[in-house]
Amino acid sequence: MFGMTQRGVQAYAKVGLETSVVAASPHELIVLLFDGALAAVHAARLHMKAGKIEEKGASISRAIEIVNDGLRASLDKKAGGDIANSLDGLYMYITERLLQANLKNSMEMLDEVHTLLADLRDAWASIGRQPAAPMAVPNVASVLASA
């Protein structure tokens, strides 16, 4: 009975996520990517604490996939200029730290990545709440400057 309930909850969550993705603006999709990467890093932390090596590796791989195939791939370096190039460098750094965290079983590295992703996610979320796009640039730049 529990298995059926768990599958039902997972199916419901998947439908909710798919609905969010279909209804999301491009800006909101970036926030969803950050949320997914943060969830994967959080899962990796839990698996690391529990000594579940295979699950930890899978969660870190998922975070890397989201950062590289989602966040990095969405950068428009021509239109985004210096900010896009800085974000690209930061995403490469995050990927490297995730790889090292997996190899060295380092909770500190996962914490660092989580903080970077959370700060970037918050900056993107705040951009979406602002009335005009020109207001967005200082928020992302300030996150990059503090990283």
- Whether 4 maps to a domain, the answer reads no
Per residue in 46-73, pLDDT (tens digit) is: 999 999 999 999 999 999 999 999 999 9
CA distance 126 to 138: 11
- End-to-end Cα, the chain, rounded Å: 47
Residue 30 lies in a domain: yes
Question: pLDDT, tens digit, for every residue of 7-43?
Answer: 443 443 444 444 454 556 777 889 999 999 999 999 9
- How many domains is the chain partitioned into structurally? 1
Mean pLDDT of 126-140: 54
**CA quadruple 103, 104, 105, 109: dihedral positive or negative?**
negative
Question: Residue 93's domain spans which residues?
Answer: 26-146
Can you spell out the DSSP letters for 95-118? HHHHHHHHHHT-HHHHHHHHHHHH
11 part of a folded domain: no
Q: What is the DSSP letter of 131?
A: S
Examine residue 39 and state whether it is found in any structural domain, yes or no.
yes
Token digits for 14? 């998947």
- Whether residue 14 lies inside any domain: the answer is no
Q: What is the pLDDT of residue 23?
A: 54
Look at 123 and 144; give whichever has higher pLDDT: 123
In a domain? residue 73? yes
Q: How far apart are CA 41 and CA 19, in angstroms?
A: 23
User: How many Cα atoms within 13 Å fall on the side-chain side of residue 33?
Assistant: 21
Sign of dihedral through CA atoms 126, 127, 129, 132? positive
Q: Does 85 reside within a domain?
A: yes
Element (H, E) at 91: helix 77-104
Q: What percent of the chain has pLDDT over 70?
A: 70
Quick check: is 9 in a domain? no
Interatomic CA distance for residues 3 and 125, integer angstroms: 36
Phi, psi of 124 (to 5 degrees): -65, -40
CATH number at residue 93: 1.20.120.340
